[in-house]
Amino acid sequence: MPASRPIILTCGEPAGVGPELAPKALASGVPFVFLGDPRHLPEGTDWAEVQAPDEQVAKGVLPVLRHDFPAAAIAGQPDPRNAAAVIDVIARAVDLTMTGKAGGICTLPINKEALKTGADFPFPGHTEYLAHLAGDVPVVMMLASTTVTPPCRVVPVTIHVAISEVPRLLTPELLEKAIRITDAAMRRDFGLAAPRLVVAGLNPHAGENGVMGDEELRWMAPLLAKLRAEGFNLNGPLPADTMFHAPARTRYDAAICAYHDQALIPIKTLDFAGGVNVTLGLPFVRTSPDHGTAFDIAGKGLADPASVIAALRMAHDMAEKR
Ligand SMILES: NC(=O)C1=CN([C@@H]2O[C@H](COP(=O)(O)OP(=O)(O)OC[C@H]3O[C@@H](n4cnc5c(N)ncnc54)[C@H](O)[C@@H]3O)[C@@H](O)[C@H]2O)C=CC1
Ligand SMILES: NCC(=O)COP(=O)(O)O
């Protein structure tokens, strides 16, 4: 592994599985530093405080950039007093990265409800908050497999919104933005010279020529035709139920989907352990494991570190490419 600027691993929700995954993530071989409160690490963790991300510690020891929280953590029970500090840690990681002191950010999971309740967090998740911190830049969320062939990479155009809101929020402008950002990121961060994208329809059977909904005929197909004429390698709108099996995945590099579950069910079914969430469009690298805070198993030593390890490796590779 070449020497490079370390990745900042943000602590996320201290009552979730994040902090117990941090020491296990040393197995990634990626240089990283944990940003959080060392009191939240599992008892017996071999850690050392550092003053800057690139300060060296002994092999096998977790480097910790200290960020003191108001309260200790009880597994599975988020403390509202800690909510603001969870948010501050993300902002501090962005600052360290944007000022060149770190190579990128890998975020351990936050609990959206805990941040809303404890600190009135006005964003649905990291993705939107990071876009805001970067200067309100347009971004999209991608989830990418790392252990299945052909790979499964998905982008939900609408993200954390009620399903009843999807038809209203899924607009030609939003879909076009997602296509442009994904195409650019596939070239820049995934090394694909000519990315092949597919777009899922909104309705069953992609509307079946208008008999099951007309979004596909009315505006999706014309938008894709316009973008194809510009040179995008685009197929769709496709019926979502038949575009994720292995032979179908050989025909594209990333799938743009209408809504959260249309995109995330296939990737989490195919590669829950190796799935990585990556924000495309930011001026810095950000990845995350695909899973959440897993309160049901937090503190029990059961959490699988595979997704965090994959996320750190992807952040490292992306940072090297930039
Ligand atoms: N990037 C982020 O910050 C993310 C945050 N979340 C948040 O996490 C919270 C809980 O979300 P859920 O939908 O319950 O999903 P979850 O991923 O936390 O848990 C779903 C199931 O997967 C299991 N699981 C999760 N991670 C695991 C691991 N590393 N090893 C073994 N088993 C694991 C859990 O035990 C649970 O049974 C919510 O507040 C959600 O918004 C969810 C996804 C990503
Ligand atoms: N379901 C994916 C998820 O919740 C990740 O959101 P984010 O915190 O990375 O924006």
Whether pLDDT at 312 is above 50: yes
Whether pLDDT at 253 is above 90: yes
Q: What is the dihedral of CA 318, 144, 31, 133, to 10 degrees?
A: 70
Mean pLDDT estimate for the chain? 97
ipTM of the assembly? 0.98
Whether pLDDT at 2 is above 80: no
Q: How much is the pTM?
A: 0.96
Q: CATH number of the domain at 273, please.
A: 3.40.718.10
Residue nearest atom 8 of ligand 1, based on CA coordinates: 292
Give yes or no: residues 91 and 32 share one domain. Answer: yes
Give yes or no: residues 43 and 79 share one domain. Answer: yes
- Domains of the chain: total: 2
Measured from the CB, is residue 126 less than 6 Å from ligand 2? yes
The binding site for substrate consists of 126-127, 268, 277, 286
Give yes or no: residues 16 and 109 share one domain. Answer: yes
Give me the domain span that covers residue 196: 139-280
Furthest CA-CA distance within the chain? 64
